[in-house]
């Protein structure tokens, strides 16, 4: 069975040493009374306890039992109920919620760290509070005051949960062709009819109500994605006291049998003249939903990192315990721990170097979102916008890479269910797919985040990094500076190509940018080391890891840039029938 211990040491290092967010929090009027370093540490400690004690030890049971549909009701693994109650009671479900509606008002940088721990403990479970938090973000931004007062306090408190209902059987990435309809009723509500698939947490009895955010088309809707509106469709309609009493016309048709995240109820939901309430402007639903999507995309990054962290911890522990082969002993009847084998050690160090950079990256992006929110800082908003698809795609791709490598460390035992490593591979795999596949993230990055302004936001960022690492160099600077130069040069080449060429290179380009930015994360890690605060072991680990990253991981960029530079004319010269 796989173990988990929250990496609080590295989390605190990122929050308080690398990004010095406690200092930032103290400068913000909205935050200075809410949070300081000690509060944050206490919150993280408590979250760690729930993850380590109530979720992680039972995640294999959640996998085996799964969500079960019987007679139109979905039941979840037993320990989900108690763990969810603990989360709700502690106020975790409204951690970054707006205090005006009962949220705790904590910064995103903090909730991102809690997300990582929840995902390490059980990705499937993390989706229930995760979707709820996303729904709250959309409601807070787009709903009217009455709706916010009716729904947000119950969602923040964990009494109710949320979903996002986008996909239909024939309309996934292409929402413009969806068919779910919304007819105006006699009051100010709408009658929603249609069928949605892949609805995470679509039906369950964890909470007394479920608040579905549903995309549908009004009768007068323009064609395509500009004709989609957003509706709030509660499982139970509220009475005048705001209590959920009347069953609405939404039912679960079936639940999917999936590769992993079996504890998550992935539902087909049928809306049959269900009562819904318009959120935001008519036909502007996709923009509203993107508020939620962008929130979720960051959470996907936490899923990649969370699984990778747990995979690493277990592979490391196995590599120290498992005796095979002789690296130091001469006795042919004895064997040494496999961590001494260069290839095993290499796999572990690759995972460690990518995970820790990923944690710094996640904290960075979250802190940029905080700065955009609390300071209305446009530069931070632009950069968070630029980095969101990287957080989603790169962190989940590296998540699979880490879980597969960690499974490999176990040899044959990695393939056996009992050890838990294969579940991590199965669970993390979904994060590359949902909330917009990683290919769609890459296209978004290449076209809408980089090409759209001829690379201006990206280049300004790279220029700032370049100045920073030159003015205060450390053991990462030379390799990093070289990588940045190569990246800028290739960016100029890429930006001169046409749409099809940019699209076919988008995934490799996103990866190249990400590896360079992870190099910057290692620069920041090393820069934050302080022999007065950190142990000699911690300092050496960070410095060696930074060195490893810059010399044995960052060179992957050369392969990516060479691939991007390669002539891809064959892609469309090969006709469909010739595939």
Rounded to 5 degrees, what angle do the CA atoms 473, 478, 479 make? 130
- Shortest Å, Cβ 552 to its own copies: 5
Choosing from 385, 474, 481, 544, the residue that interacts with its own copies (CB under 8 A) is 544
- Here's the x/- map for its own copies, 148-177, by CB under 8 A: it reads as -------------------x--xxxxx-xx
486 lines the binding site for its own copies (CB under 8 A): no
Closer residue to its own copies, CB minimum distance, 141 or 497: 497
The answer to whether 204 touches 235, Cβ cutoff 8 Å, is no
| Phi/psi at 263 (5° precision) | -75, -10
Name which of residues 292 to 321 contact its own copies (CB under 8 A).
316, 320
Record the tokens describing residue 453, joined without a space. Answer: 């302004």
Closer residue to its own copies, CB minimum distance, 329 or 463: 329
Name which of residues 503 to 532 contact its own copies (CB under 8 A).
503-504, 506-507
Closer residue to its own copies, CB minimum distance, 104 or 182: 182
Please state, as a whole number, how many other Cβ atoms lie within 10 Å of the Cβ of residue 556: 12
- Here's the x/- map for its own copies, 70-89, by CB under 8 A: it reads as --------------------
Name which of residues 352 to 381 contact its own copies (CB under 8 A).
352
- Shortest Å, Cβ 559 to its own copies: 2
146 lines the binding site for its own copies (CB under 8 A): no
454 lines the binding site for its own copies (CB under 8 A): no
**Spatial CA neighbour of 233 closest among 196, 193, 272, 275:** 275
Record the tokens describing residue 122, joined without a space. Answer: 């059980």
Which residues, listed in sequence order, are joined to residue 246 by a DSSP beta bridge? Answer: 237
**HEC profile for 319-378?**
HHHCECCCCCCCCCCCCCEHHHCHHHHHHHHHHHHHHHHHHHHHHHHHHHHHHHHHCCCH
d(CA 322, CA 341): 11
d(CA 112, CA 296): 11
Q: Parallel, antiparallel, or unpaired: how do β-strands 181-184 and 250-255 relate?
A: unpaired
Applying CB under 8 A, the span of 3-11, 74-82, 108-116, 564-572 interacting with its own copies comes to 564-572
- Shortest Å, Cβ 555 to its own copies: 4
Name which of residues 186 to 245 contact its own copies (CB under 8 A).
197-198, 223-226
Q: Examine the residue annotation and report whether 435 is marked as an active-site residue of this protein.
A: yes
List, in sequence order, the alpha helices (H) in 473-555.
477-495, 499-527, 536-548
Name which of residues 399 to 428 contact its own copies (CB under 8 A).
400, 404, 407-408, 411-412, 414-418, 422, 425-426
Catalytic residue (one of 435, 468, 558, 575): 435
258 lines the binding site for its own copies (CB under 8 A): yes
- Here's the x/- map for its own copies, 16-55, by CB under 8 A: it reads as ----------------------------------------
**Spatial CA neighbour of 138 closest among 148, 146, 124, 126:** 148
439 lines the binding site for its own copies (CB under 8 A): yes
Active site amino acids: 435
């Amino acid at each position: 069975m796989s173990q988990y211990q929250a990496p609080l040491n590295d989390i605190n290092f990122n929050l308080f040493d690398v990004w010095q967010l406690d200092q930032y929090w103290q400068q913000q009027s909205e935050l200075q009374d809410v949070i300081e370093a000690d509060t944050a540490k206490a919150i993280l400690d408590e979250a760690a306890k729930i993850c380590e004690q109530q979720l992680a030890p039972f995640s294999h049971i959640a996998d085996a039992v799964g969500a079960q549909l019987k007679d139109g009701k979905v039941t979840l693994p037993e320990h989900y109920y108690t763990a969810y109650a603990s989360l709700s009671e502690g106020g975790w479900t409204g951690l970054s919620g707006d205090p005006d509606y009962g949220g705790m008002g904590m910064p995103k940088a903090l909730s991102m760290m809690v997300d990582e721990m929840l995902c390490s403990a059980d990705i499937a479970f993390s989706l229930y509070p995760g979707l709820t938090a996303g729904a709250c973000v959309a409601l807070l931004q787009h709903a009217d005051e009455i709706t916010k007062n009716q729904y947000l306090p119950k969602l923040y408190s964990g009494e109710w949960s949320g979903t996002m209902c986008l996909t239909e059987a024939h309309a996934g990435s292409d929402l413009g062709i969806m068919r779910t309809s919304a007819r105006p009723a006699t009051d100010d509500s709408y009658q929603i009819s249609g069928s949605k698939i892949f609805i995470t947490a679509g039906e369950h009895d964890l909470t007394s109500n479920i608040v579905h955010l549903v995309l549908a088309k009004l009768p007068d809707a323009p064609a395509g994605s500009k004709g989609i509106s957003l509706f709030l469709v509660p499982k139970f309609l509220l009475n005048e006291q705001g209590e959920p009493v009347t069953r609405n016309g939404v039912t679960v048709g079936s639940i999917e049998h999936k590769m992993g995240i079996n504890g998550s109820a992935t539902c087909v939901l049928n809306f049959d003249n269900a009562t819904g309430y318009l959120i935001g402007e008519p036909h502007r639903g996709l923009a509203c939903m993107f508020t939620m999507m962008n929130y979720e995309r960051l959470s996907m990054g936490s899923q990649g990192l969370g699984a990778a962290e747990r995979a690493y911890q277990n592979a490391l522990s196995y590599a120290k315990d498992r005796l095979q082969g002789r690296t130091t002993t001469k006795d042919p009847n004895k064997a040494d721990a496999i961590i001494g084998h260069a290839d095993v050690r290499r796999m572990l160090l690759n995972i460690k170097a990518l995970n820790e950079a990923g944690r710094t990256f996640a904290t960075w992006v979250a802190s940029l979102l905080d700065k955009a929110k609390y300071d209305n800082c446009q530069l931070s908003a632009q950069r968070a916008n630029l980095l969101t698809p990287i957080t989603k795609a790169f962190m989940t791709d590296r998540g699979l890479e880490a879980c597969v490598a960690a499974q490999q460390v176990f040899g044959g035992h990695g393939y056996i269910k009992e050890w838990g490593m294969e579940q991590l591979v199965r669970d993390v795999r979904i994060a590359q797919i949902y909330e917009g596949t990683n290919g769609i993230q890459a296209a978004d990055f290449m076209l809408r985040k980089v090409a759209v302004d001829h690379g201006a936001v990206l280049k300004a960022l790279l220029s700032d990094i370049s100045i920073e690492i030159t003015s205060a160099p450390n053991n990462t600077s030379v390799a990093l500076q070289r990588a940045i130069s190569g990246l800028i040069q290739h960016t100029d080449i890429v930006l001169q190509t046409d749409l099809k060429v940019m699209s076919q290179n988008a995934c490799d380009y996103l990866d190249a940018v990400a590896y360079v930015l992870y190099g910057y994360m290692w620069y920041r890690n090393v820069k934050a080391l302080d022999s007065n605060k950190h142990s000699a072991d911690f300092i050496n680990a960070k410095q060696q890891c930074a060195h490893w990253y810059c010399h044995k991981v960052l060179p992957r960029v050369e392969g990516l840039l060479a691939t991007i530079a390669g002539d891809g004319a064959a892609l469309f010269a090969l006709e469909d029938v010739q595939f």
